[in-house]
Amino acid sequence: MNTQWMIKTHGDPLGTVREFTKLVWKTFDLERMVVPTNGKAEDTGPHFIDDSDGLEALSPCTPLMPINAAKLIPELLEKDSKKIGAMLRPCEMRTLFEMTKQNGLNTDKLLTLSVDCLGTLPTDEYQWRVERKGSPKKLTQEALQFSRQGGIVRYRYRSACQVCISPQATKANINIGILGLPVRQHALITINDESLAERLNMAEFAEGKIDADILEGHQRVIARLVQRSENTRERIANGLAELLPENVATLIEQFESCGDCSTCMDVCPLCDIHYPQRTEDGRFQESDVTRWLISCSGCGICEQACPQHLPLTIIFNHIQSQLAEEFDYQAGISTDDLLPII
């Protein structure tokens, strides 16, 4: 069965995503959903909605990420007994995969959606640009205008977005592609479960056959963004070579300069599952820190929250690369991949 469809956006890509998400809500009789919203910096972010009417505030392309929304999922699963939904960024989906493996989180009643990520701004930059554009909606529309080229100039983004391993939505049950596409005309829907596609009756909702040239443009832009991020990671890592820890043990020594501060761990969804513990001498246990960093999705929320403004995204990526090679493990690929024994 076909798993990919092109849908017409009729000049309103955001409105089309909202209407499609309403179809998903109705088809699967969702009771609650976590969705990204649009607004001022203090109001923008993932919110719980209890009715499909709340999807009018849905804005998955807002260039701001105040928290990693995967942090909200365990609470959502614990409180709700019926089918629930979550729209997550690609890095948040990778985090959810790792959370699931870290503690056996049961996601059977969770339906996930994801949209290609156009990148996010630092909070102060976001607020400044909202004021300059006149509204959060106009800033989001500007971001969408550049989706075919892969987004706005990337140096504006948070450092985590500049070095993101992949902005493509592929890991959710339902994925919406916009990168490299003429979004005022088309968007791409990819569904990873044939039974879900049958229930949604995608043949009726979609416009039909996928244009091969459009699909090729989608993949070409994503490949270029992934390569650009890799180049940026290497350039920044080379520039910070003297600051990068040699291994996990050296990183733990660097943590000592942070004193009692553990903000990076407090904001990380993975640490909600297994918070790194300290030994009797006050040092973090190496096995706990290893377990944490090998599952890192690279969302950069730790760096965003760090009161010392340390380049944690690159530091943690540097360590994770070592761990990935040592344990032959890459985070966020599949829930079927077993965590290394640590």
Q: What single string gives the DSSP state of each residue in 221-247?
A: HHHHHHHHHHHHHHHHHHHTTTTS-SS
Q: Would you say the C-alpha torsion 271, 58, 333, 168 has a positive or negative sign?
A: negative
**pLDDT at residue 20 tops 80:** yes
**pLDDT at residue 19 tops 60:** yes
Looking at residue 259, its pLDDT comes to 87
Token code pair at residue 42: 């203090």
- Cα–Cα nearest to 44, from 180, 137, 113: 137
State whether residue 298 is helix, strand or coil: coil
Residue 179 CA to residue 183 CA, distance in Å, equals: 8
Mean pLDDT of 292-304: 95
Query: What integer best gives the mean pLDDT of the chain?
Result: 90
Looking at residue 210, its pLDDT comes to 77
Sheet bearing 46-49, strands edge to edge: 4-8, 186-191, 174-177, 110-115, 84-88, 32-36, 46-49
State the pLDDT confidence band at 295, using cuts at 50, 70 and 90: very high
Mean pLDDT of 106-124: 93
Q: Which of 76-80, 119-123, 190-194, 322-326 has the lowest mean pLDDT?
A: 76-80
Token code pair at residue 36: 């990204």
Looking at residue 342, its pLDDT comes to 63
Predicted TM-score (pTM) of the model is 0.94
Residue 47 CA to residue 164 CA, distance in Å, equals: 24
**Residues 210, 214, 217, 218: what is their CA dihedral angle, to the nearest 10 degrees?**
-50
